[in-house]
Structure 1
Amino acid sequence: MKPKVIDLFAGVGGLSLGFEKQGFEVVLANEYDQSIAESYRENHKQTKMICEDITSIDLPEVFGDFYGNIDVIIGGPPCQGFSQKGQRKTIHDERNFLFKYYVKGVELVKPKYFLMEIVPNILKEE
């Protein structure tokens, strides 16, 4: 039986692909952008994709069936507000707080492991 993965803020599925190549099964993914989610679906046909803004998802309902049954949660929450590159807005950029939904998913599912891709500046206050 393959270890099971959930991919949050999945994008087109780069992290999913890496895990699949190592023998994992990605059972659920979330991406809010319709065209990006469609690309994900084309490349990961066996994965259930939830194309919706994570802030509007009923997380306990969606993740309830996965409690204790997922090996890894992976994902890359938006980090533009913390990034050293591009246009940085302010610490109050609403995208800066989307990582909390990732953390909530981890709390609800209780995977054995999690991997969150993020920029180093998330650890700094400005």
Structure 2
Amino acid sequence: MSSIFYCSIFGAYLLIVAFDYYIGSSLKYIIINIVRRITVPNYDVAIFAPPYGTAEMTLTAFWVIFTLLSFFIQLKSCCERRNNLDEMTIPLATRDETGAIHYTPWANIFREHRQLRKSLRDSDRASSRCCNIL
């Protein structure tokens, strides 16, 4: 879930930088400042304080809105995919005599894997209970 959130932040920032270019505000200096601190010697001692006016406040508000919007959209699509396991496939495929590709349904493999993990987890819990009793 954290990867979804950080990708949402970065993606929304890239969208805002495109608007920032045409508006002429100073949010683009976030990336420029990071690159300069990495590449220019002794730039880490420089104090850099660009103006933060109305345009920057507006873009920051849109940045937060786009971040939350993309986070919830990705989270919703991720949860929907987990509930619709019968429609999912994995990239394992076979070809028939005509050359057509047939994908293996993922739901059956997932159910077998889930049952195996559950049985292993239950056996680990049982063994840890035995060790705690001794």
TM-score bracket, normalised by the shorter chain, equals under 0.3
Please give the TM-score of this superposition, normalised by the length of structure 1: 0.23
Higher relative contact order (CA 8 A, sep 6+): 1
Q: Counting strand residues as a fraction of each chain, which structure ranks higher? A: 1
Q: Counting helix residues as a fraction of each chain, which structure ranks higher? A: 2
